[in-house]
């Protein structure tokens, strides 16, 4: 594998899950693989889990991680072609990506969507510019439309916690005050569509994800009906896709409660707003596996880096 930018870069999700579980048992087994190799992590947006777990994954493989908060710390980067750069951007991605490629063996990038310009977001301007102008492999640490390290993590976590061969997994929208990206929900849906699970999505009307992502997955607008016999309830807010980036619904009746989830396991990528997305009683109970889920971020990232290093 050269780059890891989408869930579609996973050729066989079941074998990847098994390999990740093996790494989790002996995380330091491949300490030689990354010796004297550098991983550059570039953040255009905030992070706690991705920033730390991806560095931890690199360290477990003997790599040296170097990190930069691009927004604020670096020079403003220009992505437009042929732009007369007399505004706020000081250097072009052509130079920036070429320069960083000389310092790093792998580059990992986080760059969220604008949520105001659908065409621009769906073109994955930042991620694709790095892919085009960097000369080393690229890892997506959450882009405009996808968070494939999270999606892989979620697949591993469901495989670890499932009690039956084909569990029922529900992706539920929940309310939030801000306009949030679709990336986590998109990659989760794509991962579940590759797994042997009974997968449904529940969201209010006007909140369907992109039809390209939904595919043939059932969308049930009645949350209670969707949660019936669920084994895993994966919760995430996203802004409207049709009325792009808008927050048209903050109905608190969509918040996840202990009563609603029954015997299902609660999952969320984090960070999560308590008593907006989900009530304390869920997060503070054994129904919640969000901490175990976040732990798996390390092994998902480690597997991805290992596959790229082995291919180098």
Ligand X SMILES: NC(=O)OP(=O)(O)O
Task: Pick the stretch among 22-30, 118-126, 174-182, 304-312 that binds ligand SUO (CB under 6 A).
Answer: 174-182
Q: Which is nearer to ligand SUO, 49 or 307 (CB)?
A: 49
Task: Pick the stretch among 213-221, 223-231, 265-273, 296-304 that binds ligand SUO (CB under 6 A).
Answer: 265-273
Q: Which is nearer to ligand X, 152 or 256 (CB)?
A: 152
Closest contact distance (angstroms) between CB of 153 and ligand X is: 8
Task: Pick the stretch among 9-17, 177-185, 247-255, 286-294 that binds ligand SUO (CB under 6 A).
Answer: 177-185
Residue 184 engages ligand SUO in binding (rule: CB under 6 A): yes
Closest contact distance (angstroms) between CB of 222 and ligand X is: 28
Instruction: Detail the residues annotated as belonging to a binding site.
Output: 47-50, 75, 110, 142, 147-150, 176, 236, 269-270, 273, 297
Closest contact distance (angstroms) between CB of 142 and ligand SUO is: 5
Residue 34 three-state SS: coil
Task: Report residue 112 as tokens.
Answer: 């969220």
CA-to-CA distance for 83 and 310, rounded, in angstroms?
38
CA-to-CA distance for 118 and 279, rounded, in angstroms?
32
Task: Pick the stretch among 43-51, 185-193, 202-210, 303-311 that binds ligand X (CB under 6 A).
Answer: 43-51
H helical segments located in 115-256: 118-122, 125-133, 148-161, 183-194, 211-214, 223-227
- Single residue of 38, 47, 69, 295 touching ligand X by CB under 6 A: 47
CA-to-CA distance for 149 and 158, rounded, in angstroms?
14
Q: Are 106 and 37 in contact (CB under 8 A)?
A: yes
Q: Which has the closest alpha carbon to 231: 159, 163, 284?
A: 163
Q: Are 287 and 309 in contact (CB under 8 A)?
A: no
Q: Are 247 and 240 in contact (CB under 8 A)?
A: yes
Task: Return residues touching ligand X (CB under 6 A).
Answer: 47-51, 142, 150, 269-271
* Site residues, ligand SUO (CB under 6 A): 142, 178, 180-181, 183-184, 269, 271, 273
């Amino acid at each position: 594998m050269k780059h890891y930018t989408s869930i579609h870069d996973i050729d066989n999700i079941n074998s990847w899950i098994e390999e990740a579980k093996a790494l989790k048992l002996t995380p330091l087994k491949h300490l030689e693989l990354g010796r004297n190799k550098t991983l550059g992590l570039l953040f255009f947006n905030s992070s706690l889990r991705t920033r730390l777990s991806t560095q931890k994954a690199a360290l477990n493989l003997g790599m040296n991680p170097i990190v930069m908060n691009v927004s604020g710390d670096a020079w403003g980067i220009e992505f437009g072609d042929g732009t007369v750069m007399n505004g706020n951007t000081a250097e072009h991605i052509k130079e920036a990506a070429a320069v960083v490629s000389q310092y790093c063996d792998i580059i990992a990038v986080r760059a969220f969507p604008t949520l105001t310009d659908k065409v621009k977001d769906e073109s994955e301007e930042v991620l694709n510019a790095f892919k085009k102008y960097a000369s080393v492999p690229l890892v997506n640490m959450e882009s405009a439309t996808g968070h494939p390290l999270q999606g892989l993590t979620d697949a591993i976590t469901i495989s670890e916690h499932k009690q039956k061969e084909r569990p029922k997994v529900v992706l539920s929208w929940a309310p939030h005050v801000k306009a949030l990206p679709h990336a986590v929900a998109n990659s989760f849906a794509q991962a579940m569509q590759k797994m042997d699970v009974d997968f449904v999505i529940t969201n209010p009307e006007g909140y369907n994800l992109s039809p390209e992502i939904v595919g043939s997955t059932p969308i049930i607008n009645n949350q209670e009906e969707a949660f019936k016999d669920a084994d895993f309830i994966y919760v995430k807010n996203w802004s409207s896709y049709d009325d792009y980036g808008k927050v048209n619904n903050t109905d608190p009746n969509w918040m996840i409660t202990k009563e609603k989830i029954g015997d299902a396991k609660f999952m969320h990528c984090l960070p999560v707003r308590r008593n907006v997305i989900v009530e304390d009683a869920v997060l503070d109970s054994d129904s919640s596996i969000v901490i175990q889920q976040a732990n798996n971020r390390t092994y998902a990232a480690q597997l991805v880096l290992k596959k790229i290093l082995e291919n180098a």
